[in-house]
Amino acid sequence: MSLLQELQDRSGNQCELCAAKDNLSIYEVPPISTGGVDGSLLACSTCIEQIENPEATDANHWRCLNDSMWSEFRAVKVVAWRMLHRVKKAGWSQDLLDMMYLEDEELRFAETTGEHLDESEKIIHRDVNGAILEAGDNVVLIKDLKVKGSSMVAKQGTAVRRISLDPENAKYIEGKVDGTQIVIITDYVKKMAEKE
Contact 117, 110 (CB under 8 A): no
User: HSE-up of 123 (CA within 13 Å, CB side)?
Assistant: 17
CATH of domain 123-191: 2.30.30.40
Quick count: other Cβ atoms within 10 Å of Cβ 105? Answer: 9
Give the C-alpha separation, 43 to 83, whole Å. 14
Q: Are strands 153-154 and 172-177 parallel, antiparallel or unpaired?
A: unpaired
The predicted-structure confidence for 86-95, as pLDDT tens digits, reads as follows 998 888 999 9
Q: pTM value?
A: 0.60
pLDDT digits (tens, 9 = 90+) for 18-44: 999 999 999 998 876 567 888 899 999
Give Cα 173 distance to the centre of its chain.
14
Q: Where are the domains of the chain?
A: 3-111, 123-191
pLDDT (tens digit per residue) in 36-86: 888 899 999 999 999 988 888 999 999 999 999 999 999 999 999 999 999
DSSP conformational letter for 178: T
